[in-house]
Amino acid sequence: MGASTVILIAVNQADIASLNQGESLRNLLKWDFHPNVEGHPAFSHLHLRMWYLPDGLLFEDYLDRRWTEATGELVGEVIFPSRHAATSGRASLTLHPIGVPHLPQGEQGPYGGFGGQSPPPNPRLASWWKLLLERAPMHTEVEGFDLSLEVTHHGPFLNAPALFIEVGSTEATWGHEGAANLLAELIRDGLLSPNINTWSDVKKKGDQVVLVTLGGGHYAPRANALAALDNVWLGHMLASYALPFIHVEGGEPKGTWKQAINDAITSTRKAFPEGEIVVSMDKKAFKGWQRQAVREHLEVLRVPLLTTRQIKSRLEGTDE
């Protein structure tokens, strides 16, 4: 990473889960005061920058460009500590990329983002997921918390690779300090530890797979399992609701499903230069005509559609 390129950590001052993660991270490292940016507090540690925003994150578009315009520093990636809301009410710790690839092109989503224009997924997603699975059992204070990836959803829009790291899923746990401390340690080690590979460390190796998943529910069980494997890197994950099909008798299905797939793959390629993109599809989530349409479109894109068994064989160097 060049001297003028920084990693931006965007903290939401109106969100206790975001604030707690930011405060814990500031306690873990020695931060210097940075001149206010757009009138809002900021801090620096080595190539890390923490920026406190006043009210929400989902509509804070172009944060990377805005930081560069204000400071002259290029932003290589953005991390969003946040809360996670869910009707289940279950305590949870989650990670996910952002975007609304299925909405009409350029249309702003109800929770931010622009249709068909997903930011690149942060290449750290899979390594942080593995780290979360490893660390959480060592922290008794988060015993009982669900651990999960979430599919690609909501805003904001930016050009730098991004991820959200969240404490869920109601007011009862948003302020959980033990959860915030664990995620702050994960951010610290995930960004600074020399023992955790980045994509630039391994992209020349031939045994790495970059995964895009299609179909299934919001909590990405397929991605949860596959991204836990060594040498699997994670791109965008599209739930069934992000692949809208309209059946056309005797013709190609309409809807924005094709746009969503194109956006997910194009955006993932930006995040993983020289990476081998493969797709895993939840077959049970699709009707037969939908599966066939996806297969044919991926053939046009020349992106392999692999089963879990085929992915594992490829990782082992024993392609079927």
Q: What CATH number corresponds to the domain at position 263?
A: 3.40.50.10700
Percent of the chain with pLDDT over 90: 91
Cβ contact 302:260 at 8 Å: no
In a domain, 63, yes or no: no
Mean pLDDT of the chain: 96
In a domain, 79, yes or no: no
Strands (E), the chain: 5-12, 32-37, 40-45, 48-53, 74-85, 92-96, 146-149, 162-169, 209-214, 232-238, 277-281
pLDDT band at 197 (very low <50, low <70, confident <90, very high): confident
In a domain, 264, yes or no: yes
Number of CB atoms found within 10 A of residue 303's CB: 18
In a domain, 156, yes or no: no
In a domain, 41, yes or no: no
**Whole-prediction pTM:** 0.96
pLDDT band at 317 (very low <50, low <70, confident <90, very high): confident
| pLDDT, average across residues 267-296 | 97
Question: For the purposes of burial, counting CB atoms within 10 Å of the CB of 205, is it exposed (0-12), middle (13-18) or buried (19 or more)?
Answer: exposed
In a domain, 180, yes or no: no
Note the pLDDT of residue 2: 44
Note the pLDDT of residue 82: 99
In a domain, 224, yes or no: yes
| AA identity, residue 188 | R
Domain containing residue 216 = 199-315
Number of domains in the chain: 1
Note the pLDDT of residue 203: 77
Question: Tens of pLDDT along 225-280?
Answer: 999 999 999 999 999 999 999 999 988 999 999 999 999 999 999 999 999 999 99
Note the pLDDT of residue 217: 94
Note the pLDDT of residue 320: 61
| pLDDT, average across residues 189-197 | 93
In a domain, 288, yes or no: yes
Note the pLDDT of residue 1: 44
User: Radius of gyration of the chain from Cα atoms?
Assistant: 19
| AA identity, residue 240 | S
Spatial separation of the C-alpha atoms in residues 164 and 115, rounded to whole Å:
19
* pLDDT above 50 for 67: yes
157: its two tokens: 């829009």
Note the pLDDT of residue 216: 96
